Chains A and B, each alone.
Chain A
Amino acid sequence: MKQQIRPALVLFGLLTVLTGVIYPAIVTGVAQAAFPQQANGSLLVRDGKVVGSSLIGQNFTGNAYFWGRPSATGPMPYNAGASGGSNLGPTNPALADAVKARVALLKAADPANTLPVPVDLVTASASGLDPDISPAAAQYQLGRVAAVRKLAAVEVQALIDAHTTGRQWGALGEPRVNVLALNMALDVASTH
């Protein structure tokens, strides 16, 4: 036992320096050199001002913007300083109530819309920061956004298509639309 103490202590210290100091330093150096944009948060800049990250969703409630996934972060939705999901269980009445309220809100914003309500638009994401919605969820909101912005539907459709990403390498994940990037493009289109 006694002769084990020195190797245990010294090796613990040396391996701590290797894995807790040298390793993160190497990764930081390589990542900052090779992928500075990504390593610093994939930030989006408009007129010289940082307006968000292409990976982190923002809260949208106005009719002129596409809305993202419901976010369960507190105290405000899309709080990127405190991520998290709703953790509501499948039979929790609060889940049913929340979904009903979201469906009602979507319908109130666009009473004439007869499309089925995409499930991702009425369920909270896991991180509360989901940057994407499904293509169906974008399609559902197209009519509303085009009408409010007085843009032609084909014009908005073109923007949706431009911000839709397919399955990665045709195989992985799901097709999706980046909401913040789409909304920024909408703002640009509206000023022209």
Chain B
Amino acid sequence: MQTQAYFQLALYLAVLLVLAWPLGAYMQKIFNGETPAYARWLSPLERLFYKLAGVKADEETGWKPYAVGILLFNLIGVVAVYALQRLQGVLPFNPQALGAVSADSAFNTAISFVSNTNWQGYAGETTMSYLTQMLALTVQNFLSAATGIAVAIALIRGFARKSSSTIGNVWTDLTRATLYVLVPLSIVLAVVLAGQGVIQNFKPYQEVATLEATTFQQAKLGADGSALKDARGNAVVEAVTTTTQTLAMGPVASQEAIKMLGTNGGGFFNANSAHPYENPTPLSNFLQMLAIFLIPTALCFVFGRIVGDRRQGWAVLAAMTLIFVLAYGALVSAEIAGNPVLKEAGAAVASNMEGKETRFGIVASSLFATITTAASCGAVNAMHDSLTPLGGMVPTLLMQLGEVVFGGVGSGLYGMLVFAILAVFIAGLMVGRTPEYLGKKIESFEMKMTAIAILVTPILVLAGTAIAVLATGGKAGIFNPGAHGFSEVLYALSSAANNNGSAFAGLSANTPFYNLLLGIAMWFGRFWIIVPILAIAGSLAAKKRLNANAGTLPTHGPLFVLLLIGSVLLVGALNYIPALALGPIVEHLQMSAAAR
């Protein structure tokens, strides 16, 4: 199985590079204000948008108006997503007559989708109407991705420009990212996915007659519809037999495509990309994995192109890829070695198939789990809560590194560039020289902003986890006993604050306590990084660009790649190893001890 594991990885990385390279060239043009001839038929629509919105496309601003624009645009998004969920009961495209989402859940989901987290406290097929799925959630899948791309492009411009007071036009960046990049890619991917079997319709859920009758236990309801209890207060159950199965339907393919391309990850259904209607075949699975890394990879190339030295983009990509490959190796090995409990209980092998789908198996499930948490996607094709202890630690740690290993669209690159600034700063301290990156002097203001951007998420994760494991409301949600229960809480906060969105889904998170706590973590984890990033962009753009000399640390070679990886891992390790020791590491030791 090891051979298959690395063969699928090599195939994946090869196809990824082949697709991302031309996309990088295309995106550079798009954000340079040029529209290639084959995309020009969309230009009238773009001009119409600007005219109606009163946008002067050729006017740029400094970082402050840019940041205000981003915040306003996203606040409007929160209000819209919240309102649509609360009102869905009286709105159309709701064949299952699903009622209003509760206030705390709607608040959480609104922030979740606007912040590109797509944490889901709710179960899609039993909560959201088709209208909400499209007009609230799909829309934010696009717009949160466009926000990430815009901020990354603004930061790249900060490095590339000299003595400039502007970093771009926030409205044209958002519009062009959506219109020329995200929508065309999504249409192509959605149609291909539909061909593989991802559904796309507006029908009510289908009732089908099954081959065999199913008998099951369910709570007996009284005349008033509430669950009956016996004299001891236990719920009364009755045996029920059914000969039908209800198949959830919906416009899934359109949401699925942008869910991946925008590193959003919010599933149409509760089981996310494990659901056969979201991810029916190994090929659809492969395409979804490619879609997650496609734009983050292309943005590394865009970075190299815009700063005028393609090697700089390759260096960042190399650092990301190395961490990713190491993480995958650890995860897949842990899952193949599996859980000795399974073998003891009578299974032929210990390979951990609990919470995995047959068509993906151990290998494609492990690869997907690594990709979705290296990027801040958060879609899952296997249940992370049922991963082995060390297998589950890998996704946790990848999120905790700050979602900079490919990361979210835009957010991965700007997060990694902040670590690059930290790396040259550390290198500068070692040789006693003012640090420089890409010819820009890194000074006190940039370092303060870098420190904020790097420290916001660990504070949110660790303080949030501490609050949750102390509070009654936090402990109430834990599903699995022992150390694994702590891992569930740590995972939830890591996922929310780093805007990933995947879960150890045993945790009952659709409660006012978790909806509020995680909502706050998602909001600050997103925008308390974006604002300092834009501040850095503005400050860098205003600086002169120095020529490299003998004392400059080259930032395109293997030495810098290692320094960058070292910075990312060092910060991650210092922040999180104590917490990880209490969860996955303890559980691993317990599991190994029990097996002996």
Give chain A's interface residues, CB within 8 Å of chain B: 1, 4-12, 14-16, 18-21, 23-24, 26-28, 30-32, 34-35, 38-43, 49-53, 55-62, 65, 69, 75-93, 95-96, 99-100, 103-104, 116-120, 122-134, 136, 167-169, 171-174, 176, 180, 183-184, 187
Contacts and interface: CB of A to CB of B under 8 A. Distances in A.
17 contacts: A7-B69, A12-B77, A18-B183, A34-B191, A53-B276, A59-B214, A79-B245, A83-B269, A90-B341, A90-B484, A92-B481, A99-B346, A117-B348, A123-B354, A168-B283, A173-B281, A176-B358
B209 A51 contact: yes
B183 A82 contact: no
A41 B275 contact: no
B323 interface: no
B313 to A, nearest CB: 28
Contacts of B480: 87-89, 91-92
Given A28-B202, A117-B348, A82 B364 contact: no
B72 A8 contact: yes
A67 to B, nearest CB: 10
Given A99-B347, A174-B360, A42 B197 contact: yes
Interface string B137-181: 011011100100000000000000000000000010011001100
B579 interface: no
Interface of B: 7-8, 11, 49, 52-55, 65, 68-69, 72-73, 76-77, 80, 123, 125-126, 134-136, 138-139, 141-143, 146, 171, 174-175, 178-179, 182-183, 186-187, 190-191, 194-203, 205-206, 208-212, 214, 216-219, 240, 242, 245-249, 251, 253-255, 257-258, 269-271, 274-277, 280-283, 285-286, 338-339, 341-342, 344-361, 363-365, 380-383, 385-389, 479-484, 487-488, 504-506, 587, 590-591, 594
Nearest to B503: A87
Nearest to A90: B339
Contacts of B361: 173-174
Nearest to B348: A116
A59 B270 contact: no
A130 to B, nearest CB: 5
B360 A38 contact: no
Contacts of A49: 209
A50 B358 contact: no
A30 B191 contact: yes
Given A65-B212, A104-B346, A127-B271, 8 more contacts: A27-B200, A31-B194, A39-B200, A89-B386, A92-B484, A119-B348, A173-B283, A174-B358
Contacts of A92: 480-481, 484
Nearest to B483: A91
A15 B126 contact: no
Contact of B134 (A15, A21, A93, A168): A21
A79 B208 CA distance: 12
A26 B505 CA distance: 33
A150 B186 CA distance: 51
Contacts, number: 395
Given A6-B53, A171-B8, A12 B254 contact: no
A59 B54 contact: no
A77 B245 CA distance: 10
A117 B258 CA distance: 40
A60 B211 contact: yes
B235 to A, nearest CB: 12
A75 B195 contact: no
Contacts of A87: 355, 383, 385-386, 479-480, 504-506
A89 B126 contact: no
Given A90-B352, A127-B271, A58 B245 contact: yes
A127 B276 contact: yes
B348 A77 contact: no
A127 B356 CA distance: 8
B202 A50 contact: no
B291 to A, nearest CB: 15
Nearest to B1: A174
A15 B342 contact: no
Contacts of A56: 245, 247, 276-277
B139 A19 contact: yes
Contacts of B341: 90-91, 95-96, 99
Given A4-B68, A61-B212, A75-B216, A96 B355 contact: no
A37 B60 CA distance: 49
Interface centre among A81, A122, A131 (most CB of B within 10 A): A81
B274 A85 contact: yes
A19 B246 contact: no
Contact of B191 (A31, A123, A134): A31
Contact of A96 (B136, B277, B345, B364): B345
Nearest to A107: B346
B594 A95 contact: no
B56 to A, nearest CB: 9
A141 B387 CA distance: 27
